[in-house]
Amino acid sequence: MGQNKMKRPSWDQYFLEITKVVAQRSTCLRRQVGCTLVKDKRILTSGYNGAPTGMDHCAKAGCIREKLNVPSGERHELCRGVHAEQNAIVQGALHGITVKGSTLYVTTQPCVQCAKIIANAGIKRVVFIGDYPDELSINILTEAKIELEQYKK
């Protein structure tokens, strides 16, 4: 019998593809972001950015940051949405799943707020696809000794 020559994705490719699908659930008007937390090649939780549970989505409530022309990466406190990384970590807390020692896959580089939460959650590695204008977040993740990798195909 012939050998199977099929090319399988790496684990990072596999989990990033899943994370891209998670991002499709986002209700944010400005940027769709998905996040998946993985440990020992098993998905622990996932999250996407959008309004908190039970609140109107941004499409209905409107986006104050858009209305005020706030640049990307600034004035997060004005946004009614919860970031994908925050949602994935909260899902662990809500359901009693520890995320300590996990890898966080995300479609966009984490912001500074998420970087601080990632550090305190004990996440050991962050793999992201897209850039985000927040150099401080990179500094925090680096200082916290979290392995950081921008995925390049």
User: Does 74 qualify as catalytic in the annotation?
Assistant: no
Are 76 and 96 in contact by the 8 Å Cβ rule? The answer is: no
| Catalytic choice (74, 77, 85, 143) | 85
83 in a labelled binding site: yes
The neighbouring-strand residues paired with 103 are 38, 125
58 in a labelled binding site: no
What do you get for the CA distance between the two ends of the chain, in Å?
Answer: 32
111 in a labelled binding site: yes
Q: Rounded to 10 degrees, what is the CA torsion of 119, 77, 91, 53?
A: 180
| Gap between the Cα atoms of 37 and 103, Å rounded | 6
Q: Which residues belong to the annotated binding site for Zn(2+)?
A: 83, 111, 114
Give the residue numbers marked as catalytic: 85
Binding site per annotation, positions: 83, 111, 114
